[in-house]
Structure 1
Amino acid sequence: MSLRLILASASLIVLAACGAPDPEQPDQAAPSAQAPAPQAGAAVLTAAQIEAGVPQAAAAPGAAPPSTAPAPATGEAGTGPAATAPDPGLVRLQVLLDRTPFSPGMIDGLAGDNTRQAIAAYRKANNLGSGDAADAALLQHLAAADTSRVMTQYVTTAEDVAGPFSPAATGELADIARAGTNFTSARERLAERFHITEALLQGLNPGVDFRRAGQTIVVPAVTNTPLAGVARIVIDKTERSARAFDASGKLLGFYPATIGSSERPAPSGTVTVTGVAPEPDYTYDPKRVTYDRGDEKVVVPAGPNNPVGTVWIDLSRDTYGIHGSPDPSKIGKTASNGCVRLTNWDAEQLAAGVKPGVVVQFI
């Protein structure tokens, strides 16, 4: 998605409030590890199962419970392999929500707070009652509004598998700056493109070597439709969410978010958007703020695994913004250092609809 550069001198931005190591958040689950290496065998789920899927929570009484076999995916609330296999109905629901856009964050086929909050927001916006139940009426409403298939096939290209790739980031900014902020692998690049965990991507495509072009893979049919006409953004620090509204008060989009911490809280009250910078550099300047990252100025180059991801929405509170993330699995589950962090694809979608002067309310 192409974003118009509207922030002056955006190729180099000092983002001092957002680049410290994530504060400890012991009450939140840690993100999962990388997916296992490719292996042959049956797919965890098939496209046909997903297309016909109904979330287990909405299944008819007496329906078989979900499998308890370990799956190559990790849930929103888990720290290791998921206790249950991905639910094909939840994959379907998450893809449909992603296209509304009431974002569930990463598509993984597993229940978690991000998905439940997206359900609750969608139900309320569409007069489907309150609560976060993934019932048959919700799925029917989503499927009636969007009749397109939720899964599709994609053939990997030479561009997908071409580098340069960067090693996994360490906690040291200078090391990240030297190593670069590109994706770590073709599989990570494809997982982000299709809003899915690497683990589930591999599980849907067992035996596929994502380093090779010409591989036909099964992926979610996401759309990446940009928002338009955002007039107000509400950041809910308790819910960990960002909502975008138009001038009439209509809810345009809902996104799970990581928002500050007790040590470094997000702003309070009302600020405004001052501009948008796609593909920003990140600059640590000890003259402005220190987070135990040394006494030297460090510039981390632009890239999807930059500390602020692929886009920066600048706010009128100095050094604060709404931005992307190098690790979408952490969104809504860990603390940040004051800024509002979304998945890269959600941040890009939101950024496309804002302009200077848009009101941002922190509640």
Structure 2
Amino acid sequence: MKRIFILPCLLLIAGCNAAPEGADSSQKPTVAADADSLRFEDAKTDAAPFAEPPILRAQVLLDRLGFSPGVIDGKEGQSYVAALRGFQEARGLAVNGRLDAATEQALQQGRTAPATRMVVIPAGFAKGPFVPAFPKDAAEQARLPALGYRNLTEALAERFHTTPETLVALNSPATLVGAGRPFRVPNIPDVDVPKTGEDPRGWNGTLERLGVAPDQLAAAKIVVDKAEGVLKVYDEGEKLVAQFPATMGSRRDPLPIGTWKIQGVSRNPDFHYNPKLFWDVSNDKDAVMLKPGPNSPVGVVWIDLNKPHYGIHGTSEPHTIGRAESHGCVRLTNWDAARVAQMVKPGTPAIFRN
């Protein structure tokens, strides 16, 4: 794979999302687990019914329909409102950013699905590998064989498009997290990922661990809208078919307004970290090559543009999307970036506008 020499967005590393402490040691796994399984089966439990907040249910449905609210957290933030507006536009509804009756009916599409599931954590998912003492310094990161998750809680949060804090709220600080144990999560379903063909970068496993189906709608063009803070996907008929919240540019490194083209997609890429390309990093630091992983500065994917050093990519800090600044490029959550990667191809127009 070609090395990526880019001007990356902010090199921000998330704080440690440790598994809950003070857990009841009497809890036992509910099923015997297949050592390689990544499938989340329904848990058989006598847990009390869960009262599902309407916003949480709407976020799950929006995510499943391709109008991402960013992290699913049950909060009425700007990414949630933008997702509602995008969905309303796509469905020909009044675009008001509110969960009104017409929008709720359109989201449900005649089906009822719970906002959360009680699942059994599969052994293959629980075994990692993890990097508990994830270093902040790029030189130390360069010594790692992969830039993986810090722990199982962080991996579960990305798999179900949420945050470790939300998982604790859905369960309890005393809930044990491990293979074979029951756990409540947002209802982001398993996906069927092809296992045939060459996959030297492990992309099939990445899609499965992120709950992203390999088959997605084809993008005729994408539009990065600075005013709305989103990346929009359009089909051949100029219809809006998907939308994702994005972090894009800053006062120091503004979004490059204009019409560009996608040159290629690097899945699970190596990352060439060059301090000379950062205005806020000392030039005394050495350039290093970082291995792939979800906690890479560019996340799990780099979508290259025909403007040098600029692209669309994932992040190690999904909760910052739409709230932080970047060094000019477009940053998405890892699960949204992976989905966009399956929609675009070389030559797809990428329009950046204010």
Residue of structure 2 in register with 1:14 after alignment: 5
Letter in 2 for 1:264: D
| Distance change (3 Å), C-alpha of 1:293 and 1:90 | farther
The secondary structure found in structure 2 opposite 1:118 is helix
Residue of structure 2 in register with 1:327 after alignment: 317
Tell me if the contact between 1:47 and 1:151 (Cα under 8 Å) persists in the aligned partners.
no
Letter in 2 for 1:282: F
Structure 2 counterparts to residues 259-270 of structure 1, below 5 A: 259-270=248-259
| Distance change (3 Å), C-alpha of 1:357 and 1:189 | same
Residue of structure 1 in register with 2:262 after alignment: 273
Residue of structure 2 in register with 1:341 after alignment: 331
Tell me if the contact between 1:155 and 1:213 (Cα under 8 Å) persists in the aligned partners.
yes
| Distance change (3 Å), C-alpha of 1:287 and 1:117 | closer
Q: Quote the offset at 1:172 in angstroms.
A: 2.5
Structure 2 runs not aligned, ≥5 long? 25-46, 190-211
Q: How many residues align?
A: 304
| Distance change (3 Å), C-alpha of 1:292 and 1:145 | farther
Tell me if the contact between 1:107 and 1:196 (Cα under 8 Å) persists in the aligned partners.
yes
| Distance change (3 Å), C-alpha of 1:97 and 1:168 | farther
Q: Quote the offset at 1:170 in angstroms.
A: 4.9
Residue of structure 2 in register with 1:228 after alignment: 217
| Distance change (3 Å), C-alpha of 1:214 and 1:36 | closer
Aligned counterparts of 2:125 and 2:19: Cα–Cα separation in 1: 20
| Distance change (3 Å), C-alpha of 1:219 and 1:262 | same
Letter in 2 for 1:111: E
Q: CA RMSD in A?
A: 2.4
Specify which of 158, 161, 175 is matched with residue 208 of structure 1: 175
Letter in 2 for 1:276: V
Q: 1:130 aligned to 2:92?
A: no
Q: Quote the offset at 1:37 in angstroms.
A: 2.9
Structure 2 counterparts to residues 99-138 of structure 1, below 5 A: 99-138=64-103
Q: Quote the offset at 1:289 in angstroms.
A: 6.6
Structure 2 counterparts to residues 137-148 of structure 1, below 5 A: 137-148=102-113
Residue of structure 2 in register with 1:254 after alignment: 243
Structure 2 counterparts to residues 120-199 of structure 1, below 5 A: 120-167=85-132, 169-179=134-144, 180-199=146-165
Letter in 2 for 1:281: D
Structure 1 runs not aligned, ≥5 long? 1-8, 23-30, 51-87
List structure 1 runs of 4+ shifted beyond 6 angstroms: 287-290
Tell me if the contact between 1:242 and 1:254 (Cα under 8 Å) persists in the aligned partners.
yes
Q: Quote the offset at 1:34 in angstroms.
A: 4.3
The secondary structure found in structure 2 opposite 1:308 is coil
Aligned counterparts of 2:248 and 2:91: Cα–Cα separation in 1: 26
Letter in 2 for 1:219: V
Q: 1:299 aligned to 2:292?
A: no
Tell me if the contact between 1:275 and 1:313 (Cα under 8 Å) persists in the aligned partners.
yes
Residue of structure 2 in register with 1:95 after alignment: 60
| Distance change (3 Å), C-alpha of 1:192 and 1:293 | farther
Q: Quote the offset at 1:146 in angstroms.
A: 4.5
| Distance change (3 Å), C-alpha of 1:19 and 1:105 | closer
Instruction: Calculate the TM-score normalised by the size of structure 1.
Output: 0.77
The secondary structure found in structure 2 opposite 1:299 is strand
Instruction: Calculate the TM-score normalised by the size of structure 2.
Output: 0.79
| Distance change (3 Å), C-alpha of 1:288 and 1:113 | closer
Aligned counterparts of 1:47 and 1:349: Cα–Cα separation in 2: 32
Letter in 2 for 1:347: A
| Distance change (3 Å), C-alpha of 1:35 and 1:287 | closer
Q: Quote the offset at 1:274 in angstroms.
A: 0.5
Letter in 2 for 1:303: G
The secondary structure found in structure 1 opposite 2:109 is helix
Q: Quote the offset at 1:94 in angstroms.
A: 0.4
Specify which of 354, 357, 361 is matched with residue 347 of structure 2: 357
Tell me if the contact between 1:46 and 1:204 (Cα under 8 Å) persists in the aligned partners.
no
Q: Quote the offset at 1:133 in angstroms.
A: 1.2
Q: Quote the offset at 1:106 in angstroms.
A: 0.4
